[in-house]
Structure 1
């Protein structure tokens, strides 16, 4: 059946989960759960295997939006791209942007501010510089890009935040499946970076 906004809105929970399929050979459907939540799902085949992804939860994702997301996923399939794998790659990339990692570093400084080892003004200055000058240019870049690798070779914590000791550790999140690495700031005695866990 062709779903309408009225049908979706009127769907009530039952004792067991049930499915309302929307046109297109039942590939997009609304799953109504016993507790009342309504999930949009897209069932598809990729490389001879049946798969399913979520398109969102109603009413946050309405019928029109679910159909657009469904069309996008079908477009990926037409280009021989698995929508589920594509979504995971995009999520992983957004979790490892320069801005995300820099904000995590700023959070790591908060305990030092709380116990008086670091002035709050210093962290505020670093935050302001990052937000004003660096995030607009580099915030959305993956930390694994060649540009970021070149920048980490020339930048280190004391340049951004002089009160941070030269041995301060900046945890760089690893790519999925690899071991964590800690990149230490440049040691003033040897003028070299020290890497652990590589």
Structure 2
């Protein structure tokens, strides 16, 4: 029983170089889907665009967007405030610390929790948003 995976591939030339592009692994990608992917790649190729380079650019752009979203999530006001609270509560009574967190959750996070730390306080004061 062969252990090699079967895949759909397309060989083409671009800028005088022979290239090979994977269209997907069989049976995850069926014949119809492989043909559709090939048609899209050929359309790019006939327009003077290297399909492999285009695929790489799309993947890199998607990864950059995911990194940016992760950075925003990690620098949200709510996350920073919760981190601050965890350090601040040391030496405070449990009741007082819980009251402060309850007020943050009830009054602040709903309105400002999603904002990033790059928020300019003057715009919040002026716009009230």
CA contact (8 A) 1:106 1:123 kept: no
1:112 deviates by 7.8
Structure 2, unaligned stretches of length 5 or more?
A: 89-100, 122-129
Q: In the alignment, what sits opposite 2:41?
A: 73
Q: Distance in 1 between matches of 2:30 and 2:10?
A: 15
Q: Deviations over 1:107-134 (max 9, x none)?
A: 467698468149694499534x6xxxxx
1:78 deviates by 0.7
CA contact (8 A) 1:39 1:57 kept: yes
Q: TM-score, normalised by structure 2?
A: 0.58
Structure 2 counterparts to residues 34-45 of structure 1, below 5 A: 34-35=3-4, 37-45=5-13
CA contact (8 A) 2:75 2:117 kept: no
1:43 deviates by 1.1
Q: TM-score, normalised by structure 1?
A: 0.40
Q: Distance in 2 between matches of 1:111 and 1:58?
A: 46
Alignment partner of 2:60 out of 92, 95, 104: 92
Within the alignment, does 1:51 sit opposite 2:19 as a pair?
Answer: yes
Q: Distance in 2 between matches of 1:57 and 1:72?
A: 17
Q: In the alignment, what sits opposite 1:159?
A: 119
Higher helix share: 2
Q: In the alignment, what sits opposite 1:106?
A: 73
Q: Deviations over 1:50-102 (max 9, x none)?
A: 101111122221110001101111111111111001111111122223x6413
Q: Distance in 2 between matches of 1:38 and 1:83?
A: 21
Higher relative contact order (CA 8 A, sep 6+): 2
Residues 54 and 111 (structure 1), Cα distance of their counterparts in 2 relative to 1, 3 Å cut:
farther
Q: Distance in 2 between matches of 1:96 and 1:87?
A: 14
**How many aligned positions are there?**
101
The DSSP-based 3-state class of the residue aligned with 1:60 is coil
Runs of 4+ in structure 1 off by over 6 angstroms are none
Q: Distance in 2 between matches of 1:40 and 1:92?
A: 23
